[in-house]
Structure 1
Amino acid sequence: MKTLILLSCLVALGLASPFHQHGFLDFMDDITGMQNEEGSADDFTPVPKKPEPPVVVPTVTYGYPICPFACQCHIRVVQCSDLGLKEVPADIPTDTTLLDLQNNKITEIKEKDFKGLSKLYALYLVNNKISKVHPKAFLPLATIQKLYLSKNALVEIPKNLPQSLVELRIHENRIKKVPKQAFQGMKHMNCIEMGGNPLENGGFEPGAFDGLKLNYIRISEAKLSGIPKDLPNTLHELHLDHNRIQTIELEDLIRYSNCVQVRGPCHELGLGFNQIRDIENGSLSFLQNLREIHLDHNNLTRVPAGLTDMKYLQVVYLHSNNISQVGDNDFCPPGFGFKKAFYHGISLFNNPVNYWDVKPAAFRCVTDRMAIQFGNYRK
């Protein structure tokens, strides 16, 4: 009996169909069949799926909700340099305080390029191709203090410069003239860099610097034949190197005669790389508070007279001239003369003077012997 039951089971297994793997659609048919068994398909109402909101990817660069394309923005600083831009980009955040647009190909500053940037502190436009600036372009910049326009193609100083400016750098352009009203109302202006322009002495209109209380001005690498007459008398530093100045006359520095405070104006005078042959006696006596004077790379044949009267003078550059001798009283006051600050730098190298012919007493008011530089003269 047991044998018959076992044979019946084996026959039933042999007649069973083989196993088939269900695909995705097969599972769907199974699910539909299950639903029809429990109820008709018409009775099944699927739960509506809540639509997902569209994904919005904001234009964010370092925390800024808006930033000009390809620029980098971070904490009110917008950096757009070295991008080959041909114009000032749009969509500059209105709370920007520093805008860097240097090393591009911008040719023109238009009227509305800086619209809304009332909080801008510094604007860098160095090394572009700017030849034209709209007269109203800078009017929105009510609080700007630093404006750098160097290395462009400007032929004149832009009109209506912001009165809040403290520092203006406009060197290496094509400016030939500084009109009378160029800096009108700029009571806070401290520094002007305008070297590398084809400026001649006649290019400065009378009163061009009226009202300014500058501490620093550089007009180097220009075409000056003498010291400009109308520069502000508040200067701490005056740099006129790399020009065509041949002589310094008594009246050239007389407007600085009001320098009476120890820490007052006229601390540094740069006249290197000119063609100076003569400095009129008494010319330097107006610069009583001068600390440093550069007269290197000129055509001087002797140590300028008047250095002994400058009680605060500490550095004198006289190298690369034609000085053939140094007197006992060329640098230090004679006798018991008083000097408040000793020299800590005197350069006389590259001059036809033999150091062994100079008496040690000539440098009695120098801090130490290392402060004197003679070197070898080679023609």
Structure 2
Amino acid sequence: MDPKAILLILGIVLVFVIISTFIPNAPITIPQDLSYSLEAGSDSITIGTHVDAKAKTSGADVKTITLEFGGEKVIQECNSRNCLFEKTFIPKTPGAYTLKMTIALSNGSVEKSSKRINVFDSQKRCTGSIAFNQCSSQKPLYCENGSFVGKCSICGCNDGYYCSNETCLPEAKKVEITSLKYAEKVLAGKEFSIIIEVTSEAGFVSGAKYKTKISLDNDIAENEFVISEVGNTQSWAINKLSLPAGTHSILIEVFSINETENLAATYSKENAIESLVSAPPIGIPQIQSIFAEGDDAVITWSGVSNSSGYKLYKSTVSKEIYTAYRLYSSFDANTTTTVIQGLSSGTHAFVIRAVDLFGNDGDYSEPKTVVIG
């Protein structure tokens, strides 16, 4: 080789060495084919949720990858052109965190990346955005592990309800006995009924419970009633009562059933009911007058004592063949006249009989007829 050419090459090398010696911090270019990624799932999580960090590089020689999160720092050696570093972090307090990644290349250069992650309180919720361990506005619903349960011991109850076994039950209000219906005379051993009418100024709530206790001397009958229709008045029938012969006093007690049973109203009367061995005979009413007004008939009959009502029968046969008569209408004990309307042309016959205090029918009256048209 030409000595001059050799000297030229040596001179160029010498210059490069001199420049390298006096400029040691000259920038180093990062390879253009380096690629990397940093993944960590959602950027908004709650306390107790893992942060699964994943760092990946390719296309350049990487010496180490460093991951930092919440004061924790971990380093993984790579020494390869393709690196994967996975690390799980668990945030312990709510706040704004930064997941940092530092890539150290084998040529001495460094590349950094970061990802912001917000950590919130562990406020899991039920339907309607009600947080765990919180009460709904619909008492007594309580958010427990993602589902609503009844917990009136914590959430309480709405007005008009009380707490029982973690359930809100309608409250039974104080009442007054405003009316009683019962027969003052009954047959010994025969069933009869007592109807109680009670009133509540505060109003009855559907589902509220009450109990009645009826004492007829030594005989006691208890019944429980559940309110099904709201309002201020309720009527309760106590059936299948019976008494031995004699005169009996009556005591009626009404209890409201809430957390405890409370006496709400009472009624008492001495010698209220007479129980008879046999029914006294009932008198026979008679039709006193009957006349036509157009196609109507006006009928009046005589009343009888110890009657609970009357039954009027009609037939087109005027003879005393009572099987030919059919019940036309019934009347209470205080009614002794009526108007039969819209009769057809022809002769119509009527008889009447009384009903005693025990529901027994008396004998028929003499038939009376009226001619229409």
TM-score w.r.t. length of structure 2: 0.24
With a CA cutoff of 8 Å and minimum separation of 6, indicate the structure with the bigger relative contact order. Answer: 2
Structure with more helix by fraction: 1
Structure with more strand by fraction: 2
Question: In terms of Rg, which structure is larger?
Answer: 2
TM-score w.r.t. length of structure 1: 0.24
